[in-house]
Structure 1
Amino acid sequence: MDQENVNAGRTVAAPAERVFAVLADPTAHSAIDGTGWVQEAADRAPLTEVGQIFRMGMYHANHPDGDYQVANQVLVLDPPRAIGWRTGTEKDDGHLEFGGWIWRYDLAPLGPSETLVTLTYDWSAVPQSLREHIRFPPFGPDHLSDSLHHLAELVSGR
């Protein structure tokens, strides 16, 4: 595959500020994900600055431990227009190591009560050593659209 990113878009019936607030809340991420991979937020504080680290409990049947934790670093924080982070792990000595993939949400207001949300997953910086063990993207073709559907439901209170 030559393309090293995928994206999906959806119109959400809410102002961009409300959508952004949900995305900046790590405790909402498991509900947005919808695969069962993303579990509870270990760091529950809202995302407020570039460089901020937030950890999430994860589960994946193909992971050697099943349950594990990721450390995410905020790379983009432009309220209420964009938010994004890279995912990695924290070593026993506290050193963070990132895998080379990024999650990014871009929000474009379509009026006072609608927002076009584009979710992009980019794995262009993943080193070859990881690509030998993990298929990219590591999810099916409907995952991004499904996540945006969950986000829309969460934002609207359904």
Structure 2
Amino acid sequence: MDQENVSATLTVAVPVARVFAVLADPTTHAAIDGTGWVQEAGDRAPLTEVGQVFRMDMYHPNHPNGDYRVANKVHVLDPPHAIGWLTGEEKDDGHLEFGGWSWRYDLAPLGPSETEVTLTYDWSAVPPFIREYLKFPPFGPEHLTNSLHHLSELVSDR
């Protein structure tokens, strides 16, 4: 695959500010996740600034421990239009290391009560030594579509 990102887009019948508020709340991420890997927010504070770190408890059957925790660092925050983060890990000494992949949501209002949401997973910055043992993307594109449908259900219920 030459392309180093994958995206999905869905229009939801909800105002852009409400969609952004749900995405900026780490406690909603497990419900949004289309892979089933995100289990629970390790940090519950809303995402409010670039550089903010939030952790997620995860599960993947092919991970050496099964259960693990990721550290995410907000690198895009443009309320209510875009939010994104780098995913990595926190070492025992507190040092954060990121693998070169990121998640980003772009929100485009289509009127006062409708929003086009584009979710992008990008692995273009993953170094070769990680690509030797991890396949990218680590899931099929349907997982992004699933995430957007979960987001739609979640924002419509609020």
Matched, 1:103 2:103: yes
| Higher deviation after alignment, 28-37 or 49-58 | 28-37
Normalising to structure 2: TM-score of the pair? Answer: 0.98
Q: 1:128 aligns to what?
A: 128
Moved over 4 A (4+): none
1:140 is displaced (CA, Å) by: 1.2
Aligned partner of 1:2 in structure 2 is 2
Task: Please name the residue that 1:16 is paired with.
Answer: 16
Count of matched residue pairs? 158
Equivalent in the alignment of 1:55? 55
Give matches, 1:29-44, under 5 Å: 29-44=29-44
Tell me, in whole angstroms, the C-alpha distance in 2 between the residues paired with 1:88 and 1:16. Answer: 28
> What is the RMSD of the two structures over their aligned residues, measured on CA atoms?
0.9
Q: 2:124 aligns to what SS in structure 1?
A: coil
AA aligned opposite 2:73: Q
Q: In the aligned structure 1, how far is the partner of 2:98 from the partner of 2:79?
A: 24
- Helix, strand or coil: the match of 2:107? strand
Write the distance in 2 (CA, Å) between the matches of 1:134 and 1:155: 33
Note the residue ranges of structure 1 that are not aligned, 5 or more in a row.
Answer: none
Q: Structure 1-normalised TM-score? A: 0.98
Shift in Å, 1:34:
3.4
Matched, 1:146 2:146: yes
Shift of 1:4: 0.2
User: Quick check: 2:26–2:54 contact (8 Å CA) kept in 1?
Assistant: yes
Tell me how far 1:35 sits from its aligned partner: 2.4
